[in-house]
C-alpha cells in the first residue's frame, strides 16, 4: 500500500516536470495512461486477425509462400497501419526514434492476444526477421527483435535470433513496388546450420516469424522460404507483426 502510494507520487512528479504525450495524437497523458491516451486507446484499429485464420494479410502472405508451403500459413498483426492515421507513429517511433519502450508495450499486447488464440497459442519458437549488421550497427538494435522478444515472453516460447541471418544489405523497401520488393529481398536471407540443428533438436511444431510491419509480405516470404528449406514439413511456420499496412 505504502509502496504503491510512493510510486504514484513519484509518477505524478515525473509527469509534472516531464509531461508524457500520447504517441498517436500528442495529447498530454494522465498518470495511469501509458503511450496512448484513453481516446486513442478506444479507437485503436485492432485487426482481430489472430481470431480469423483466413484473413487478407494471411491471403497475401500465402500467395508468396504457395510454391514452397502446402498448408495455408497463419498471419496476424496487432493493428492496421494507415498513412493518414496517427497510429503509424507506433512503428515509426520504434524504427526511427529509438522508442523501444512503446514498441515493447504494443508487442506485449500482440503477444498476449496471440497466446490466447487457437491459431497461435501453440507457438514453441519465435524468430525475428534479421537486420543486416551494418543497419543494426547504425541503429543500435533490430526493431523486429524488440517486437519478437516481447511476443516470445508472452507466448512463453524461446526466442531464436541465431537461426536466420541477413547476408545481403538490401535497399530500403519504402519506395519500391511489390515486384521490386520481392526481387530486392529474394536471396537476402540464409540460415545458420548449427542454429537450425539446435532448433530442430527442440522438436518445434509451430515456429513464428516476427517483423515490425507487414507491407507486401516480401521480406517475411523470403525468410519463410529460407526456413522452409531446412525445417521438416510437419513444422508449421506462421508470421506476426505489430502492424499491417491497410491498402483498402
Ligand atoms: Zn491520443
96-137 pLDDT tens trace: 887 889 999 999 999 999 999 999 999 999 999 998 877 777
Cα 44 to middle of ligand 1, angstroms = 10
| In the chain, domain spans | 1-43, 44-245
Cα 12 to middle of ligand 1, angstroms = 19
Q: Could you tell me the pLDDT band of residue 40, with boundaries at 50, 70 and 90?
A: very high
Cα 41 to middle of ligand 1, angstroms = 7
Cα 35 to middle of ligand 1, angstroms = 8
Cα 102 to middle of ligand 1, angstroms = 14
What is the pLDDT, as a whole number, of residue 237? Answer: 96
% of the chain beyond a pLDDT of 70: 88
Residue 54 has pLDDT above 80, yes or no: yes
Cα 195 to middle of ligand 1, angstroms = 42
247 phi and psi, to 5 degrees? -85, -10
Give me the residues paired with residue 125 across strands.
207
Cα 146 to middle of ligand 1, angstroms = 23
Q: Could you tell me the pLDDT band of residue 170, with boundaries at 50, 70 and 90?
A: low
Cα 202 to middle of ligand 1, angstroms = 43
Contacts of 155 (CB under 8 A, 6+ apart): 111, 114, 115, 120, 121, 123, 126, 208
* Domain 44-245 part of CATH 3.40.50.2020: yes
Cα 27 to middle of ligand 1, angstroms = 5
Residue 168 has pLDDT above 90, yes or no: no
Helices (H), the chain: 2-17, 38-42, 56-65, 89-96, 100-115, 133-139, 143-155, 178-185, 193-201, 218-228
Cα 21 to middle of ligand 1, angstroms = 8
Residue 159 has pLDDT above 60, yes or no: yes
Residue 10 has pLDDT above 90, yes or no: no
Global pTM reads 0.87
Q: Which residue has the cell 497466446?
A: 115
What is the total residue count of the chain? 248
Residue 235 half-sphere exposure, CB side, CA atoms within 13 Å? 22
Amino acid at each position: 500500500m505504502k509502496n504503491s502510494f510512493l510510486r504514484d507520487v513519484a509518477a505524478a512528479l515525473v509527469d509534472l516536470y516531464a509531461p508524457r504525450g500520447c504517441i498517436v495524437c500528442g495529447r498530454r497523458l494522465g498518470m495511469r495512461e501509458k503511450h496512448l491516451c484513453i481516446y486513442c486507446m478506444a479507437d485503436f484499429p485492432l485487426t482481430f486477425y489472430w481470431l480469423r485464420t483466413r484473413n487478407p494479410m494471411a491471403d497475401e502472405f500465402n500467395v508468396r509462400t504457395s510454391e514452397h508451403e502446402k498448408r495455408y500459413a497463419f498471419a496476424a498483426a496487432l493493428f492496421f497501419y494507415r498513412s493518414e492515421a496517427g497510429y503509424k507513429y507506433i512503428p515509426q517511433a520504434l524504427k526511427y526514434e529509438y522508442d523501444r519502450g512503446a514498441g515493447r508495450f504494443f508487442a506485449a499486447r500482440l503477444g498476449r492476444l496471440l497466446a490466447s488464440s487457437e491459431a497461435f497459442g501453440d507457438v514453441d519458437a519465435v524468430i525475428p526477421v534479421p537486420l543486416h549488421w551494418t543497419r543494426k550497427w547504425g541503429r543500435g538494435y533490430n526493431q523486429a527483435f524488440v517486437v519478437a522478444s516481447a511476443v516470445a515472453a508472452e507466448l512463453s516460447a524461446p526466442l531464436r535470433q541465431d537461426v536466420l541471418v541477413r547476408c545481403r544489405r538490401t535497399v530500403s523497401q519504402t519506395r519500391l513496388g511489390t515486384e521490386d520488393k520481392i526481387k530486392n529481398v529474394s536471396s537476402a536471407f540464409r540460415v545458420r546450420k548449427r542454429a537450425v540443428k539446435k532448433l530442430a533438436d527442440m522438436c518445434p511444431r509451430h515456429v513464428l516469424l516476427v517483423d515490425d510491419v507487414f507491407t507486401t509480405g516480401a521480406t517475411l516470404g523470403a525468410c519463410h522460404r529460407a526456413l522452409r528449406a531446412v525445417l521438416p514439413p510437419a513444422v508449421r511456420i506462421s508470421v506476426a507483426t505489430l502492424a499491417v499496412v491497410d491498402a483498402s
